[in-house]
Amino acid sequence: MKNFRVLLTAVFAFAGFSAIAQDFSDPQYAKWGETAEERKENILNSTFLKESIDNRDFQAAAGYLKVLVEKCPTASENIYANGIRLYKNKINRAKTLAEKRGYVDSLMWVYDLRNRYFGSHPKRGTVYILDRKARELLTYDASDRAGIRKAFEEAIDASVASTGKADAELMAIYFKNLCDDYKVDEVGADYVLSAYERLSPLFADACEPGQLEAKEQFETCFGMSGAANCNNLEEMFSKKLAAAPDDPEVLGQAVALMARAECDSDFFFATAERYYAVKPSSETALFLAQAFQNKKEFDKANIYLREAVVNEQDPAERVKLLVRIAVVELAAQKYADSAAAAEEACNIDPENGYAYFILAQAYAMGNGGCDGLDRDATYWVAYDTMNKAVARLDSEPETQKTAQASLANYRRSFPTAEECFFNELKEGAGYTVKCGVARGKSTTVRFRPQ
């Protein structure tokens, strides 16, 4: 039945040609052959190629394709569009891996012919053809790692040569596969680094959602590849920054990648500081502060945070910066400065549990110059403040648990009933703290639990 349908189609096609009585000697048909008869035959073969594929007679279709490629390879791009259809169908119906790979080779051969003869097409030329070729090789033979790398590189290079840019998704797919190859020792770190350096500038103009997603995937793959270790990154970015020391794009890439790799070299910190100088932001200030805090360079951490908070207008961002300042000052044992920053954060956002958490610690730890009852009384204020933290930390159970443990510690540090009696203080009475960071704060007299 299938052969009958193909034969019937051929009869109708031939009848159609006869009915309109084309003059194949006309120059417009020259691309189909030397003589009118050859032209007529090849045009019919092109029709039979399409109809054979539509009717799934792939053996006949392969024969027509072979004849067309031999006799009139430049006649029509449809020859190759149908040839691609033919071999994709054959791949999907292959019964063995060897058979499938043979058809994949044939598919790549058709793409190469299409590029040779129709690469200059204004819309579907070399850039389009090599893009499709690379993607389909990956789809149909993911095991051909070297072939996939070559196909994608040729597609990207062709696009850059033609337009000065390349498809963001294509580059992201290529780079993900390259990083996967590195993880199984198919390629070395130098290969990955070289590709990153070559491709990263091509993402500079990414602005559409799909492009930005591809750029993020590209950066993430590099950061997680293992090739982006501190030594490799420092070598790569030292060269880039020597040529463009104030380029915010390069500085931002360097800081992001080296931070992800947990670098702690002088080069990294110098680069991060330079990035902040060129493009200051509260986000970068927080990052630098944390980095210097980890190195116990609290003065430097504090400098960046205080510079950022002066310039920050958004209340929510100001609170984040103030809380971080309070943490840094607490770690540096500057308890009064820590309390001042935490109090300012509480004034801006009275529901910020972290601000109260740090403020309570500053009150409790900042009583070093106090003695006797005056020292113990500071824990009343610390307890009151930590209670506010506990009430506001429901969404942070681990921190809330720590705050509750602190409450118990503060209670154990309250003045004893005897101390309060000898100082004529009654439980529940009002009291104003007389020394320490909490000096002047109002609280309530309570006795230490027995």
Q: What is the pLDDT of residue 67?
A: 96
Q: Name the 3-class secondary structure at 396.
A: coil
What number of CA atoms fall less than 13 Å from residue 409's CA on the CB side?
12
SS3 307: helix
Please answer whether residues 214 and 169 qualify as being in contact, where contact means their C-beta atoms are separated by less than 8 angstroms. Answer: yes
Q: For residue 8, what pLDDT is reported? A: 45
pLDDT score, position 289:
82
DSSP annotation of 143: T
Q: What pLDDT is attached to residue 111?
A: 98
**Comparing C-alpha atoms, which of 286, 262, 284 is closest to residue 275?**
284
Residue from 17, 82, 78 nearest 44 by CA: 17
Q: Is the dihedral of CA 123, 127, 129, 134 positive or negative?
A: negative
Tens-digit pLDDT profile for residues 112-147: 999 999 999 999 999 999 999 999 999 999 999 999
Q: Which two tokens stand for residue 235?
A: 């070598």
The torsion defined by the Cα of 17, 20, 23 and 27, in degrees rounded to 10, comes to: -90
Domain ranges of the chain: 374-450
pTM for the model stands at 0.61
Q: Which residues of the chain have pLDDT under 70?
A: 1-21
Quote the CA–CA distance of 250 and 247 in Å, as a whole number: 5
Classify residue 328 as left (phi > 0), alpha (psi -120 to 50) or beta.
Answer: alpha
Half-sphere exposure of 302 (CA within 13 A, CB side): 16
Instruction: Give the DSSP per-residue string, 148-189.
Output: HHHHHHHHHHHHHHHHS---HHHHHHHHHHHHHHHHTTSS-H
Per-residue model confidence (pLDDT) at position 21: 53
Look at residue 183 in the predicted model and tell me its pLDDT: 93
What are the CB-based long-range contacts (under 8 Å, 24+) for 99-104? 100/140, 100/141, 101/141, 104/137, 104/140, 104/141, 104/144
Q: Residue 24: how many CA atoms within 13 Å on its side-chain side?
A: 17
Number of CB atoms found within 10 A of residue 340's CB: 18
What backbone torsions phi and psi does residue 431 show, to the nearest 5 degrees? -150, 140
433-437-441 Cα angle (round to 5): 35
